[in-house]
């Protein structure tokens, strides 16, 4: 629960930062690297003993993570915070689809219902954004692209995690993602040096170290359904911040769409009985 609340506050820090969205994504990673690397070293796994295939898988994860943060941070500036959080977490469906392909099975009853609910909810939210403005729609689409990129990140991490620990995987992927975001941010946004470090430090420690760390720990110790239920705190917290700070009020159709996607996020994690 704490990890989800911290992650839901992250988009607020992105809006508060006095640098562009790509630069804030880079600083989120770069400022977190010393903490993640220290934790990874204390895990006892030696980096110099890793086979080349693990390095490739982890660096690939970093590439997808860079795409995820780039799309998501751009989307945060144009979409409602609640929408950004919901669409950013839609990677669950893509990752579930990957699981079905690997297992060569069809979706179960609950997963099929989750996909249907997610499609209806997404259509409602995108339609509402289209009615408001082209910027809102573009923001939602960027957040959807982020969700797809994050699914690629999770697939690459899943492959690396076969023999590599959580923290070494996260540390290497974070370095790779930061190395890709830095030249991209400089090329597109120009200046990336902030005048105020507070929001970026909060983003790095909160989202990348504490939020991701607690969520990774929870995923390893709790059933998927419990993780899915706890995930529902993210759009609720983000919606509360958007309403209270930016006046982003949710209409009845927005609420219905959000509830459909939130319900689907829980159902897609449900394990079949037996």
Residue 168 falls inside a structural domain = yes
Residue 273 domain-assigned (yes or no): no
Q: How many CB atoms lie within 10 A of CB 202?
A: 19
Q: Are 87 and 147 in contact (CB under 8 A)?
A: yes
Residue 230 domain flag:
yes
Tell me if 160 is assigned to some domain. yes
The pLDDT of residue 34: 94
Q: Residue 61 belongs to what H/E stretch?
A: helix 52-76
Short-list 241, 185, 190, 237, CA closest to 69:
185
- Residue 9 CA to residue 206 CA, distance in Å, equals 8
In a domain, 272, yes or no: no
Please indicate, yes or no, if residue 184 is contained in any of the structural domains: yes
Number of structural domains (the chain) is 1
Residue 2: other Cβ atoms inside 10 A: 13
Instruction: Give the separation between CA 272 and CA 226, rounded to whole angstroms.
Output: 14
* DSSP structure string for 174-212: HHHHHHHHHHHHHHHHS----S--HHHHHHIIIIIIIIH
- State the pTM of this model: 0.83
Residue 274 within a domain: no
What is the Cα gyration radius of the chain? Answer: 18
Question: Which residues are CB-neighbours of 153 under 8 A, at least 6 positions away?
Answer: 61, 64, 65, 68, 91, 173
Side-chain-facing half-sphere of 129: CA atoms under 13 Å: 27
* pLDDT at res. 261: 80
Residue 54 lies in a domain: yes
Report the C-alpha gap between 274 and 272 in whole angstroms.
6
Phi, psi of 146 (to 5 degrees): -65, -40
**Residue whose entry in the numeric block shows the structure tokens 């009853």:** 109
248 contacts: CB under 8 Å, gap ≥ 6: 80, 81, 82, 239, 242
* Domain hosting residue 185, numbered range: 2-267
Residue in 24, 26, 21, 28 with CA at minimum distance from that of residue 6: 28
Among candidate residues 128, 124, 132, the one with its CA nearest the CA of residue 257? 124
pLDDT, residue 274, reads 47
Q: pLDDT 10s digit of each residue in the chain, 274 long?
A: 898 889 889 999 999 999 999 999 999 999 999 998 888 888 776 666 667 777 788 888 899 999 999 999 999 999 888 888 878 777 777 777 777 777 677 777 877 888 888 888 888 877 777 676 788 888 889 998 998 898 888 888 877 766 777 788 888 889 999 999 999 999 999 889 999 999 999 999 999 899 888 877 776 677 665 666 677 677 778 888 888 888 888 788 888 888 888 788 777 766 655 4
């Amino acid at each position: 629960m704490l990890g989800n609340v911290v992650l839901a506050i992250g988009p607020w820090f992105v809006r508060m930062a006095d640098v562009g969205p790509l630069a804030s994504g880079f600083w989120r990673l770069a400022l977190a690297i010393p903490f993640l690397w220290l934790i990874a070293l204390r895990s006892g796994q030696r980096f110099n003993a890793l086979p080349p295939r693990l390095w490739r898988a982890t660096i690939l994860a970093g590439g997808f993570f860079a795409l995820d943060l780039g799309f998501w941070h751009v989307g945060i500036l144009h979409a409602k915070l609640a929408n950004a959080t919901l669409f950013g977490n839609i990677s669950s469906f893509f990752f579930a689809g990957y699981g079905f392909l690997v297992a060569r099975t069809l979706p179960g009853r609950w997963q099929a219902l989750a996909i249907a609910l997610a499609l209806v909810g997404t259509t409602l939210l995108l339609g509402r954004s289209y009615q408001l403005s082209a910027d809102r729609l573009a923001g939602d689409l960027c957040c959807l692209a982020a969700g797809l990129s994050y699914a690629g990140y999770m697939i690459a991490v899943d492959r690396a995690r076969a023999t590599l620990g959580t923290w070494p995987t996260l540390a290497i992927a974070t370095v790779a993602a930061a190395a890709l975001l830095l030249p991209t941010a400089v090329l597109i946004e120009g200046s990336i040096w902030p005048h105020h470090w507070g929001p970026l430090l909060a983003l790095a420690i909160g989202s990348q170290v504490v939020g991701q760390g607690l969520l990774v720990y929870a995923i390893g110790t709790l059933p998927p359904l419990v993780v899915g239920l706890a995930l529902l705190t993210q759009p609720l917290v983000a919606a509360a911040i958007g309403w209270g700070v930016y006046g982003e009020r949710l209409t009845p159709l927005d609420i219905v769409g959000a509830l459909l996607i939130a319900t689907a996020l829980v159902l897609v994690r449900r394990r079949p009985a037996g």
